Structure 1
């Protein structure tokens, strides 16, 4: 178990990069299958950010309200809802279908976050949008990082 309590942001950057890069070199066929399961869960056809399968639509409905948890704006004012991976699936494909790793945010915030690792994103928000930092920090995926093995 990785203990992240009381660590500074710099230490969390290092930890996230170390874990992601270390595991990424040891991916199994099951890891890639989990990565693909997300696409199957989310899409019937096409590429719609909140999914086209009933299961993904239900998940979005059950795990979001009318407002983006980052910027606080109404989703309809920011291009709609998107399903985002807190820890990017490009670096953590084995967490693609870990629902603790998913959250619903507006399209504008999702595009701005892009493929940034969570802690890089957290730092980016702190520097560029300090008023939004507490909301992002509260959504930090602590459980996911604690569940990762050295």
Structure 2
């Protein structure tokens, strides 16, 4: 009975339309497509962090794609630091760091916009009496949010390129 169940499981999965995203590994169509995405410089420290994280998510080296690019990813960031939790002495006790991105995937050969979407995330930061600790927490939040944004964008790019 167990053998029958184990043998029928792949057939059931195939019937539901489930397909591997990265079929073929690093030489598959999605992986090759992600590797052919050029990510131009993004303004600011957060932009540098997002671009670096995107290159890692897309499987590119430190030099990026270079001349083999088939696509360009234009990213525009919006970052905000909001003070929350005003204490009785009129100081802020908590902050909210928000990082949002609007991005477009453009096919270089035709100039066609294949994807126009947004991604975003936010983090809460405790404001403590040490200014150094608060600044360090803000920078850590920025780094974590940049990785989160890059992950969201890379997943959406992979879905878009898989459907092509």
User: TM-score, normalization: structure 2?
Assistant: 0.28
- The structure that is strand-richer by fraction is 2
- Using CA pairs below 8 Å that are at least 6 residues apart, which structure has the higher relative contact order? 1
- The structure that is helix-richer by fraction is 1
